[in-house]
Amino acid sequence: MAFAHNVTDPTIDRWLRRHQPRTELALRCSMRAQIEAAKNNAAFNARIDELFATIHPSEDEYAAILSRARELGSALAKVLDR
């Protein structure tokens, strides 16, 4: 699915930003783990940094966010045919 791999697409960014910050962070972490273009995209990673700065998650909150990212990653992998 080429569309999902294009993390610079404004439609993807708008969709991600419509979510609550913790959900958006989990989605972005999931995408970064699954999509090579997300790992190397400065703007995509800067938004992850912004979300961390906004949320200031405790260790437990961060663990919960990463757990959710792994769950989302499983679904994303299916969409990306992995």
Q: Express each pLDDT in 59-79 by its tens digit.
A: 999 999 999 999 988 877 777
pLDDT at 42: 94
Residue 51 lies in a domain: yes
Total domains in the fold of the chain:
1
Give the dihedral of Cα atoms 68, 70, 71, 76; nearest 10 deg. Answer: 120
Residue 41 lies in a domain: yes
CB atoms within 10 A of CB 29: 20
Residue 60 lies in a domain: yes
pLDDT at 20: 96
Render pLDDT for 7-61 as a digit per residue (tens, 0 to 9).
778 888 999 999 999 999 999 999 998 888 889 899 999 999 999 999 999 999 9
Whole-angstrom CA distances from 63 to 8, 14, 26, 75 are: 27, 25, 10, 19
Domain residue limits at 20 = 8-79
Rounded to two decimals, the pTM is 0.84
Amino acid at 82: R
